[in-house]
Structure 1
Amino acid sequence: MTEDSFAHLRERGMRRMLEVTCADETTPAPPIEPRSVEDHAVTVVFGDLWCGEALSDRDRRLITLGVLGALGAERELPWHIKGALESGDLTPEQLREVTLQIAHYAGVPRGASMSAIIRETTGATSPDEKGGQR
């Protein structure tokens, strides 16, 4: 891959990452060092994977939330939870169902952790508000 095509993928990846996470235009892009894990994620994951046409954004969000929840990826989950809700791809009720799936397939602690992260991300004060698990 040429440096120009890599740079194009990186630029497309930054735009797509902001779309997926529903960051507004004033959100500064995080500093990313060349050849870092973050650079790879922006370039490959958002510049290529999230631009594929075989799955909808909603499908990709469900898969991503399931995997991140199962892994307990507390740093990445808030971005994807916010993006799922703000894009309208998922409702709070659907997020609750995601946490139930995670609890049964990856363990109750993972599902409960994701439920707590949803509440923290949305500012909900009780489990029934804005997507928390019942």
Structure 2
Amino acid sequence: MNEVYGFDVEDGPGDFFALTVDHLFGEVWQREGLSVRDRRLLLLGALSAQGMLDVAEIQVGAALNNEELDERQLREIAIFLCHYVGWPIGTKFDALVGKAVGGRMRPE
């Protein structure tokens, strides 16, 4: 999970979280045939199509942090999504890219 998100993630309470994380990130994200970047692109499309931009924002940040996608590529995804999932979603996606990129450029 830490590799996929690019930051340390603490365990949640109970068996549900542990089983989900072990299976999803230990097996599904690690299968042969698709890279982590490929899976991230698919997930960004699926989340956007469902209007789950709050979760997509986490994936955008992870893609930037892991250097799988850059700002130009993420902006291109927003344009593409406008035509397949609608202008409101694509526009919101573009805004969250700007927010994620802006957050990375702030000095710490």
Cα pair 2:78 2:90 within 8 Å, conserved: yes
**CA distance in 1 between partners of 2:96 and 2:19 (Å):** 25
Task: Please give the residue correspondences for 1:18-37 in structure 2 after superposition, counting only pairs within 5 Å.
Answer: 18-23=2-7, 27-35=8-16
Given the two structures, how large is their TM-score scaled by the length of structure 2? 0.81
Q: Which residue of 1 aligns with 2:79?
A: 100
CA offsets 1:43-92 (integer angstroms, 9 cap, x no match): 33212110111101111111111111222213322221111112121111
Given the two structures, how large is their TM-score scaled by the length of structure 1? 0.67
Match of 1:83 among 42, 47, 62: 62
Cα pair 1:22 1:87 within 8 Å, conserved: yes
Letter of the 1:31 counterpart: G
Cα pair 1:85 1:91 within 8 Å, conserved: yes
Change (3 A) 1:28 1:48: closer
Which structure is higher in helix share?
Answer: 2
Aligned CA-pair RMSD: 2.1
**CA distance in 2 between partners of 1:32 and 1:121 (Å):** 28
Larger Rg: 1
Cα pair 1:22 1:86 within 8 Å, conserved: yes
Change (3 A) 1:40 1:112: farther
Give the C-alpha shift of residue 40 in structure 1: 5.2
Task: Please give the residue correspondences for 1:18-57 in structure 2 after superposition, counting only pairs within 5 Å.
Answer: 18-23=2-7, 27-35=8-16, 38-39=17-18, 41-57=20-36
Matched length: 104
Cα pair 2:11 2:18 within 8 Å, conserved: no
Task: Look up the SS of the partner of 1:19 in the other structure.
Answer: helix
Give the C-alpha shift of residue 94 in structure 1: 0.8
Cα pair 1:71 1:110 within 8 Å, conserved: no
Identity %: 33
